[in-house]
Structure 1
């Protein structure tokens, strides 16, 4: 029997969430070391040279970057496909994933969540109100304007659930942590797709771990998640004093 895959990265991260949804939907056995990148120790730096999450370890194989990891899981475990079969739709789904990673990642994760959640509570630094305002009033609306033209009025982006839906919804799950909600009157297609995706059982399952982690100080999160029977690794790469990496998420 093969060993479970290992994922390194916090449940709160949208990039980690993408990978965990893939693992759950494909029924792949895994263990998680649920650390934020900024508390990774020297061993973490060896596994993730840019100090990004998630990291996947599959035996001797080590992969960084959520898009690379998801494509690997799709290729290795194709029985439950999460990319469209049609080559054109597949390329379009990859583009929407990339757009979410870059545009929503910058606006929601870096400007909104990092400023409101991470800076004051982890680094003890003041929130940059200008960046928060820019994210809420300019960057996120611009991304939603674009996505509204790409998404269907009903169902998922390419018929069946795919990497595109998972990626977009994963970021707006994080936006919800800091009380940003899509205006359903202005962007009904975006609001509908995100609501449908986040209502899936796999997202609800992960949300129980996310919510507890969000309400728990970082040094205490592993113990709390263990009490919840999260599938934790036997050891951790966390525990170091908080420090920034090149980019903390991917």
Structure 2
């Protein structure tokens, strides 16, 4: 049984779980927020970030590495395009999402509006949020508009990592009341909407929405009550600690 360590509300965990759902691979989740990981978690994830995959004696702690491992472990249905050029483009879209979109939508928006108040009891930086919405978010969406397909998924009729990775961040953005302006970015809006309506995302959305407003210490029990595939052992601890990477 594959174990994924990390919160259902993380876009990076969502990317991995969407890949597992798309391939119908069995898995269980230790749904911890990384700030609440214990000393054992630090050994699993040297950067104290999520997700972590545990498959027997194999431990991986980067979402892109994990997704590639899942693809190699079970190649069908393929989530990386067969054409070498398209496969490279899909990997680039994944990298763009994980880095640029992660910075903009998670650290500049979601962190300021949701994480800082709920985890640390701090007031978010409103000036940073306003500047991000005015400058950084439009730049990201301009790029996605230029990459968006005329219809459907980016690399043909089936879902790929090039669709999954960017779509993950719009779930978190919606929770802090951001929606793509369909009049300004119509192709990006349709692309992301089509991806988020795919079965893997719809399955995960039911779980995510059910615990979105549940206090962190109560989320594990709430997930178990929902029937989510929760691991018997947890790497959680009671008090939060900051990671070692700058945010």
Return the TM-score normalized by structure 1: 0.96
Partner residue of 2:147 out of 126, 150, 154: 150
Contact kept, 8 Å, 1:38 with 1:248, in 2: the verdict is: no
Give the whole-Å Cα distance in 2 for the aligned partners of 1:98 and 1:240. 33
Residue 131 of structure 1 deviates from its aligned partner by 1.4
1:242 aligns with 2:207: no
Worse overlay, 237-246 or 115-124: 237-246
Give 4+ residue runs of structure 1 displaced > 3 Å after superposition.
Answer: none
In structure 2, the partner of 1:168 is 166
Unaligned runs of 5+ in 1: none
Worse overlay, 205-214 or 57-66: 205-214
Residue 213 of structure 1 deviates from its aligned partner by 2.2
SS of the counterpart of 2:60? strand
Give the whole-Å Cα distance in 2 for the aligned partners of 1:114 and 1:178. 10
SS of the counterpart of 2:28? strand
Contact kept, 8 Å, 1:111 with 1:131, in 2: the verdict is: yes
Partner residue of 1:72 out of 63, 69, 72: 69
SS of the counterpart of 1:32? strand
1:179 aligns with 2:177: yes
After superposition, the C-alpha distances for 1:12-52 in whole angstroms (9 at most, x for unaligned) are 00000000011111111111001110011111111111100
Partner residue of 1:52 out of 45, 49, 52: 49
Aligned residues: CA RMSD: 1.2
1:204 aligns with 2:202: yes
In structure 2, the partner of 1:227 is 225
SS of the counterpart of 1:231? coil
In structure 2, the partner of 1:191 is 189
Contact kept, 8 Å, 1:156 with 1:165, in 2: the verdict is: yes
Contact kept, 8 Å, 1:109 with 1:174, in 2: the verdict is: yes
Distance 1:67-1:57 versus aligned 2 partners, 3 A rule: same
Contact kept, 8 Å, 1:111 with 1:132, in 2: the verdict is: yes
1:5-84 equivalences under 5 Å are 5-84=2-81
SS of the counterpart of 1:7? strand
Residue 201 of structure 1 deviates from its aligned partner by 2.0
Give the whole-Å Cα distance in 1 for the aligned partners of 2:50 and 2:245. 9
Partner residue of 1:90 out of 87, 90, 113: 87
Unaligned runs of 5+ in 2: none
Equivalences, count: 246
Contact kept, 8 Å, 1:122 with 1:242, in 2: the verdict is: yes
Give the whole-Å Cα distance in 2 for the aligned partners of 1:32 and 1:196. 26
Contact kept, 8 Å, 1:6 with 1:30, in 2: the verdict is: yes
Give the whole-Å Cα distance in 1 for the aligned partners of 2:233 and 2:131. 40
